[in-house]
């Protein structure tokens, strides 16, 4: 069994859908006041469910979830960092070499972490 769905609790699904449409470069499959849905890739869906209607209720602390985006090169990480910073995303960590590769971290409007990275080359 493989996970196929990521669900984030958000304050305003329509505002979050507009945000994710910008960074993902694709419109939502659906967008309502309580829920929005994106196809991240052929196998993974991203759901944005209102913290005011999610069942069962959850308490969400900012930064409690992290979406990771694997990129093909360090230059692609730098370009993504520059693009997201220009779009006004809060940057928590500037590009840096980490144990697993080259990475930076930003946040979405609800404080969920967005990590872009290029995995460290083996060999």
What confidence tens digit (pLDDT) does each residue in 26-46 have? 999 999 999 999 999 999 999
Average pLDDT over residues 58-87: 92
Burial group, residue 88, by CB count within 10 angstroms (0-12, 13-18, 19+): exposed
Burial group, residue 96, by CB count within 10 angstroms (0-12, 13-18, 19+): exposed
User: For the chain, what are the domain ranges?
Assistant: 5-50, 66-119
pLDDT for the residue 61: 77
CATH number of 5-50: 3.30.720.120
CB 16 within 8 Å of CB 38: no
Tell me which of 37-51, 56-70, 84-98, 105-119 is least confident: 56-70
User: Binning pLDDT at 50, 70 and 90, where does residue 98 land?
Assistant: very high
Q: Given this chain, do its domains 5-50 and 66-119 carry the same CATH topology?
A: no
Look at the domain 66-119 and name its fold: 2,3-Dihydroxybiphenyl 1,2-Dioxygenase; domain 1 (3.10.180)
pTM (predicted TM-score)? 0.89
Total length of the chain: 123
User: Binning pLDDT at 50, 70 and 90, where does residue 3 land?
Assistant: confident
């Amino acid at each position: 069994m493989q996970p196929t769905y990521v669900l984030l609790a958000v304050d305003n699904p329509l505002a979050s859908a507009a945000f994710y449409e910008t960074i993902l470069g694709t419109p939502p499959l659906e967008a309502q006041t309580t829920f929005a849905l994106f196809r991240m890739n052929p196998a993974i869906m991203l759901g944005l469910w209102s913290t005011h209607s999610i069942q069962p209720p959850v308490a969400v602390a900012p930064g409690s979830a992290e979406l990771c985006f694997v990129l093909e090169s360090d230059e692609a990480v730098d370009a993504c960092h520059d693009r997201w910073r220009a779009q006004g995303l809060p940057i928590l960590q500037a590009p840096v070499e980490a144990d697993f590769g080259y990475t930076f971290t930003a946040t979405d409007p609800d404080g969920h972490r967005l990590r872009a990275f290029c995995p460290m080359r083996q060999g």
